[in-house]
Structure 1
Amino acid sequence: MAAALQGAPVNTLDIDIVYSRSEQNIARLMAALTELEAVFRTDPRRLVPNESHLRSTGHKLLQTKHGLLDVLATIEESTSYDDLLPDSTVLEVAGVLVRVLSLERLIEVKAKLTRPKDRAMLFLLQATLDEKRRAP
Structure 2
Amino acid sequence: MTKFEKILELLEAARIDYILIGGLAATAFGSSRLTTDIDLIYSRTEENQRKILKMFSSLNPYLRGAPPGLPFHFDERTLSSGLNFTLKTELGDIDLLAEVPGGNYESLKNDMIELEIFGQRCKCIGLKKLIELKKASGRPKDFEAIAELEAILEENGLA
Q: Is the 8 A contact 2:100 2:137 kept in 1?
A: no
Could you tell me how far apart the structure 2 residues matched to 1:14 and 1:117 are?
A: 14
Counterpart amino acid of residue 103 in structure 1: L
The answer to whether residue 37 in structure 2 is matched with residue 14 in structure 1 is yes
Aligned to 1:60: 85
Aligned to 1:48: 73
* Structure 1 residue matching 2:74: 3-state secondary structure: coil
Moved more, 80-89 or 34-43: 34-43
Structure 2 length as normaliser, TM-score?
0.75
Aligned to 1:87: 111
Show the 5 A alignment for 1:1-136: 1-44=24-67, 45=70, 47-56=72-81, 58-76=83-101, 79-94=103-118, 96-133=120-157
Could you tell me how far apart the structure 1 residues matched to 2:119 and 2:71 are?
A: 33
CA shift, 1:91, in A, is 1.1
* Structure 1 residue matching 2:137: 3-state secondary structure: coil
Counterpart amino acid of residue 75 in structure 1: V
Gaps of 5+ in 1: none
CA shift, 1:71, in A, is 0.4
Q: Number of residue pairs matched?
A: 133
Gaps of 5+ in 2: 1-23
CA shift, 1:57, in A, is 5.4
What percentage of aligned pairs have identical amino acids?
A: 32
CA-atom RMSD, angstroms?
Answer: 1.8
CA shift, 1:66, in A, is 1.9
Distance 1:80 1:114, change over 3 A: closer
Q: Which runs of 4+ in 1 moved over 4 A?
A: none
Q: Is the 8 A contact 1:57 1:72 kept in 2?
A: no
